[in-house]
Structure 1
C-alpha cells in the first residue's frame, strides 16, 4: 500500500473513531476542509507540516497517520518468540509498545534461586504481574510482597524493583507494563 493510501485510510478511521466531521477536524487542525477531504480520498499527499497539524489536533504521535494499524486478531505462539535470558531469568515479549498500544505484554519464567533486579522503567510506567505457577518475592519501594499462583500485584515500575524465586520450583508469571 502506498503512503498516500495509508494516510487516507488512517485519517478517515481516526476521524470516524472520534465522531468528527471534516469541518470540525479542519477547524481544530487549521487545515482547509477541501484539503482534508482530498487527503482522506487519497487524491492528495499531505505535506509534513499538514500531517503535524492533523496529528496535533488529534493529540496523536506524528506516525499515527503513517502506519497501518495491526489486524484485529494477532496470534503469537511462544515457540516463535526468542527469550531474553539473564542467568535464571527468562522473559518472552508477546506484544511490544507501539503508537497504538501503550503497554508491553510479557511472560516471565524465574528458576529457583534466581533474583532478578530491574533498575526501573520510564516515568509513569506501572507493572501488573499475575502469577501462573510457583512463588515469587517482589521487592519494590522498600516493601516485599510474597506472590503465589493466581496472585496479582500492580505497582509503580519507574523505580528499582526485583523478583526472587525462593521456592524449589520454577515460577511463571504474566507481566504487563503499562505506560501512561
Structure 2
C-alpha cells in the first residue's frame, strides 16, 4: 500500500473533522457554507480531501463553526511531543507567516503555536473568534504588533496580551526571521 505523505494526511484529517462536525450537528453542506461564508463546492472538496485549504480558509471555517482552529487537527494521543521545525506547518498565501501547532490535543479553549514571520514582512490575520485573547511572546528577534490603532514593539522574551477579535497585525522590520510563541484563549 502506498504511504500517504504528511500534507495529504493533514488534508484528510481536516476534511474528516469538518464532515464529523457537520454530521454531529445535522447540517448539510449548504448549512455549513452559510455558517462559514465558504462555498459549498470548496467545503465538499475539503471534506473529500481534494483540496489543500489555506490558513486563512481554515481560520474562516474555524470561526464560522465556533471551534478552535486546532480542533480540526485534534490528536487522541495522551502524550504529544512537538519539535520545532518538524510536523505540521501552515503558512499564509504570501509564505511570510508560518505557524506550527504546539499542542493539537490541547483543551477546547486554549491553543498554542510557534509562529515565524519572515524578515521585512507583515501579517494581518483574519479576525479571531469573539472574546478570544491572544498572548504572544517573542522568542527570537523583535516584532511590531499593532492592536487597533496602537503600535507595540516587543523584543526577545517580551510578552503582550490583547483581544484577538480586534484588528491586529504583526510586522517584522528586521533582516532576520522572528519567532513567537502564541497562545489563544477562547471565550466561548
TM-score category by the smaller chain? 0.5 to 0.7
The question of whether the paired residues in 1 share the 8 Å contact of 2:76 and 2:105 is answered with: no
Question: Residues of 1 paired with 2:157 and 2:176: CA distance?
Answer: 16
Give me the TM-score of the superposition, normalised by structure 2: 0.54
Matched, 1:165 2:181: no
Matched, 1:82 2:88: yes
The question of whether the paired residues in 2 share the 8 Å contact of 1:109 and 1:171 is answered with: yes
Alignment of 1:1-180 (within 5 A): 71=78, 73-86=79-92, 87-96=95-104, 100-180=107-187
Distance 1:79 1:170, change over 3 A: closer
Count residues in correspondence.
Answer: 111
* CA RMSD between the two structures: 2.0
Question: Residues of 2 paired with 1:117 and 1:133: CA distance?
Answer: 20
Which ranges in structure 1 are unaligned for 5 or more consecutive residues? 1-67
- Runs of 4+ aligned residues of structure 1 deviating over 4 Å after TM superposition are none
Distance 1:79 1:149, change over 3 A: closer
Q: Deviations over 1:39-95 (max 9, x none)?
A: xxxxxxxxxxxxxxxxxxxxxxxxxxxxx9752x42222344221122211111122
The question of whether the paired residues in 1 share the 8 Å contact of 2:98 and 2:117 is answered with: yes
**Higher normalized strand content (fraction of residues):** 1
The question of whether the paired residues in 2 share the 8 Å contact of 1:96 and 1:103 is answered with: no
Q: Which has the larger radius of gyration?
A: 1
Give me the TM-score of the superposition, normalised by structure 1: 0.56
The question of whether the paired residues in 2 share the 8 Å contact of 1:119 and 1:159 is answered with: no
